[in-house]
Amino acid sequence: MTSDFIGNTPIRRCDYLSSKYNTNIFIKEEFHNPGMSSKDRPALFMIEEAIRKGKIEPGGTFVEASSGNTGYGLAMIAREMGYASKIFVSKSCSSEKVEILKSVGAAVEICENSNGLHDFYSTQFRAQSYAANNSNCYFTNQYYNSSNIKAHYKTTGPEIWQQMKGEVTHFIAGIGTGGTISGVGRFLKEKNKNINIWGLEPTGSILSHFLTYRTLPTEYEKFEPIEGIGRTFIPGSLDINCVDKIFQIGIADSKSAAQEYKNATGFLIGFSSAALVAMLEAHINSLAFKQTDIIVVLFPDHGSRYMSKLYSKNEIVNEKSKVI
């Protein structure tokens, strides 16, 4: 079963980033999961819980709103268990992700945005509506499903603690649904309350504002879409009490970071991983890393999912023209 190979992903020291910032940076490589992303973990937990609690009958359809990775994990696991899947993605989803969703039998519907249940044109509203109006369908709803946090609390967090032998000063991850940083952050804080749990989001996202003020902003900045992270609403699967700081980064810097990392290491990183690398560069002074710090960063997926957005010749030319 595919589920037998989910989790237990490696951590490796990144010599490039460690040397660049004179500290110790380790990467939790989630692209080693069967679906090449960290989202396989909550996908499995949400499916197993739904089946266990009788929320879906055999042969039914799992429905999700996804930027692609959760949808792929759900579709892959569901098909193996004898279920169908229907995934609602926003128009900003990469063409590679749409194609791999279809390759595992998912029905894909492209929506205007992913702005939450209050927006009639969003992936979340359309997914919920579809599940409510069709028989034997279950909307896993990763943005409000406690199994999203539980998956990372039960698996990713303990793996990091064990692999690092408890030697961790910082954990840094992008925030989308909030499940990863909440689950890992909760587990690590229980082990050592002094571990810094830091998140990142794109410019225009409201999560850092919510962390600081515990309210929604009265005015919204233009949202820069970086697949998988950032929100214009507060997901129920985000436990803000597990997060110490949230940093913002722009889309242009993230794309440049992907190219720079590839040139330096030969490795293709995903969009939110590139955003994390860009955040380190942009905020390095305020991060104030010490030589003795041990920082674990999470790379949730692989750059092969974003060839058209990060690594195509056209994209490189476009980014250079923007700089000029």
Mean residue pLDDT of the chain comes to 93
What integer pLDDT is reported at residue 92 of this predicted model? Answer: 85
Q: How many Å apart are CA 163 and CA 159, to the nearest integer?
A: 6
Structure tokens at 207: 């999560």
What integer pLDDT is reported at residue 2 of this predicted model? Answer: 78
Q: How many Å apart are CA 241 and CA 211, to the nearest integer?
A: 8
What integer pLDDT is reported at residue 68 of this predicted model? Answer: 83
Please provide the DSSP assignment of 144-173 as one string: S-HHHHHHIIIIIHHHHHHHTTT--SEEEE
Alpha carbon 114 to chain centroid, angstroms: 14
pLDDT in tens, 186-230: 999 999 999 999 999 999 999 999 999 999 999 899 999 999 999
Burial per residue of 5-23, b for 16 or more beta-carbon CB atoms within 10 angstroms, e otherwise: ebbebebeebeebeeebeb
Residue 209 CB partners (closer than 8 Å, separation 6+): 215, 216, 217
Q: What is the rounded end-to-end Cα distance, in angstroms, of the chain? A: 51
Q: Which of 28, 39, 189, 309 is catalytic?
A: 39
**pLDDT at 99 > cutoff 70:** yes
Instruction: Report the candidate in 173, 235, 243, 221 with the shortest Cα–Cα distance to residue 201.
Output: 173
| Phi/psi of residue 218, nearest 5 degrees | -80, -25
Cβ-in-10-Å burial (0-12, 13-18, 19+) of 175 comes to: buried
pLDDT in tens, 2-17: 788 999 999 999 999 9
Report residue 74's pLDDT band, with 50, 70 and 90 as the boundaries: very high
Report residue 318's pLDDT band, with 50, 70 and 90 as the boundaries: very low
In three-state secondary structure terms, 231 is: coil
pLDDT in tens, 224-280: 999 999 999 999 999 999 999 999 999 999 999 999 999 999 999 999 999 999 999
**pLDDT at 324 > cutoff 50:** no
**pLDDT at 319 > cutoff 60:** no
Amino acid making up residue 277: V
What integer pLDDT is reported at residue 198 of this predicted model? Answer: 98
Annotated catalytic residue 255: no
> 């003795």: which residue's tokens?
292
Structure tokens at 60: 């039914």
